[in-house]
Amino acid sequence: MNIKNVTQLSIKELWSLWRDPAMLILIVYVFTVNIYTAATAVPESLHNAPIAFVDHDKSQLSNRIIDAFVPPYFLPPQLIEYSEVNEYLDTGKFTFVVTIPPNFEKLTLQGQQPDVQVNVDATRISQAFTGNGYITEIITEEVSAYLQGYKTDTTYPVQIVMRARFNPALESFWFGSVMELINAVTMIAIILSGAALIREKERGTIEHLLAMPVSDSEIMLSKIAATGLVVWAVTLMSVYGVIQGALGVPINGNVWLFMVAVALQLFAISSMGIFMATIARSMPQFGLLLILVLLPLQLLSGGTTARESMPAFIQNIMLLTPNTHFVMASQGVLYRGAGFSVIYPQLLALLAIGCVFYFVALKRFKSTIGSMA
């Protein structure tokens, strides 16, 4: 191993990237515009839910209830006939249909506790649960306000005070932006290291390199170093420029500790990219492989939905991928302000996974790259 050779080859990689404007634009786009739009586009949990009412009562109370449903949580409610309920729910026009029974107002005033029926299309799982909660709350509130002539808060003897730590207002873009950054780091690092190797393979330049007095590990390390340097730098800029700057997400933890995790993730992911490039024979095959690998990495590593809710075997398999550990470490540092003593197991796991991919890739490198050319 010769550090000078690695340096020379890394400089070559950087030149290659610099003269590839399409790639540069893609990197900049993914780390700026994409993070910004993806973070801000995620709607709040209930947004514009389509709702309809079957009003058999047509009283002051029923009108009051219907008028209480307003955007942005709900679309303006529509009045439909009872006979239309099934059709509209079947075709998915409405997620919620509320039926107010005849003599509703009268029965309420008599204290007979009439039933309001809420039909929920439970195949729309994201709206169904939260929406139903809101609907119940709004109707109950409106009825009691009507009865008492004014709005009150029902007070229970025991209050529960909820405080969301690390993100008091539960702003979804705080979460979305950092997870998008993590996805960007993964995607760009795999493409840069893996596709760069495939491209060299297809153009025959790797063959040329292999015939020179440089070792396989020097070639691999130079690719990892160049990829790592570039992605590491844009990540840092993105953290300060986009996440903290443009989006105004407060960062609780130590950014430099996060950057250590990024560096380890880059080592693991670019080794993985090279490993994938030793499997794929051509760019299209690499492209297909990339989709098959990236999607599970992004969806199952805990950056999209909570890991606890996944089946145990998927949780365990995902522990073997670098992303899972990187997501855990990043969430710990950036949101919860965790220090080294808290996240060191994740950092060690990243290092270990990186080493495994690195050495497997190194072993395959000679046999596959050389004979394929």
Q: Using CB under 8 A, which residues numbered 57 to 76 contact another protein?
A: 75
Is residue 12 at the binding interface for another protein, with CB under 8 A as the rule?
yes
94 in Cβ contact with 52 (< 8 Å): yes
Distance, in Å, from the CA atom of 367 to the CA atom of 370, rounded to the nearest integer, reads 6
Is the CB of 150 or the CB of 156 nearer to another protein?
Answer: 156
Q: Which one of the spans 254-262, 263-271, 276-284, 356-364 is the region binding another protein (CB under 8 A)?
A: 276-284
- Give min distance, CB of 372 to another protein, in A: 10
**Beta carbons within 10 angstroms of residue 82's beta carbon:** 11
- Give min distance, CB of 80 to another protein, in A: 15
In the window 193-252, what residues touch another protein (CB under 8 A)? Answer: 203-205, 207-208, 210-215
Kindly tell me which residue out of 59, 108, 227, 238 binds another protein, with binding defined by CB under 8 A.
108
* Residue 301: closest CA among 275, 268, 276: 268
Is residue 127 at the binding interface for another protein, with CB under 8 A as the rule?
yes
Kindly tell me which residue out of 25, 79, 295, 355 binds another protein, with binding defined by CB under 8 A.
295
- Give min distance, CB of 177 to another protein, in A: 12
Kindly tell me which residue out of 32, 63, 68, 114 binds another protein, with binding defined by CB under 8 A.
114
Kindly give, in sequence order, each residue whose CB lies less than 8 Å from that of residue 224, ignoring residues fewer than 6 positions away. 193, 266, 267, 270, 271, 274, 358
Kindly tell me which residue out of 53, 335, 357, 365 binds another protein, with binding defined by CB under 8 A.
335
- Give min distance, CB of 314 to another protein, in A: 5
Is residue 43 at the binding interface for another protein, with CB under 8 A as the rule?
yes
In the window 165-194, what residues touch another protein (CB under 8 A)? Answer: 165-168, 170-172, 174-175
Kindly tell me which residue out of 3, 123, 150, 153 binds another protein, with binding defined by CB under 8 A.
123
Is residue 364 at the binding interface for another protein, with CB under 8 A as the rule?
no
Q: What are phi and psi of 42, to 5 degrees?
A: -65, 115
347 in Cβ contact with 261 (< 8 Å): yes
Could you give the angle at the alpha carbon of 261 between the alpha carbons of 259 and 265, nearest 5°?
115
> Could you identify the residue written with the tokens 């307003």?
70
User: Identity (one letter) of the amino acid at 312?
Assistant: A
Is residue 84 at the binding interface for another protein, with CB under 8 A as the rule?
no
Is the CB of 114 or the CB of 241 nearer to another protein?
Answer: 114
330 in Cβ contact with 178 (< 8 Å): yes
Residue 373's Cβ-count burial label (10 Å; 0-12, 13-18, 19+) is middle
- Using CB under 8 A as the binding criterion, the count of chain residues that bind another protein stands at 117
Is the CB of 104 or the CB of 237 nearer to another protein?
Answer: 104
16 in Cβ contact with 227 (< 8 Å): no
Kindly give, in sequence order, each residue whose CB lies less than 8 Å from that of residue 238, ignoring residues fewer than 6 positions away. 31, 32, 35, 181, 184
3-class secondary-structure state, position 111: coil
Is residue 16 at the binding interface for another protein, with CB under 8 A as the rule?
yes
3-class secondary-structure state, position 52: strand
Distance, in Å, from the CA atom of 256 to the CA atom of 262, rounded to the nearest integer, reads 9
Is the CB of 237 or the CB of 293 nearer to another protein?
Answer: 293
* Residue 207: closest CA among 217, 197, 193: 197
Q: Which one of the spans 42-50, 238-246, 257-265, 267-275 is the region binding another protein (CB under 8 A)?
A: 42-50
In the window 129-148, what residues touch another protein (CB under 8 A)? Answer: 129-130, 132-133, 135-136, 139-140, 143-144, 147
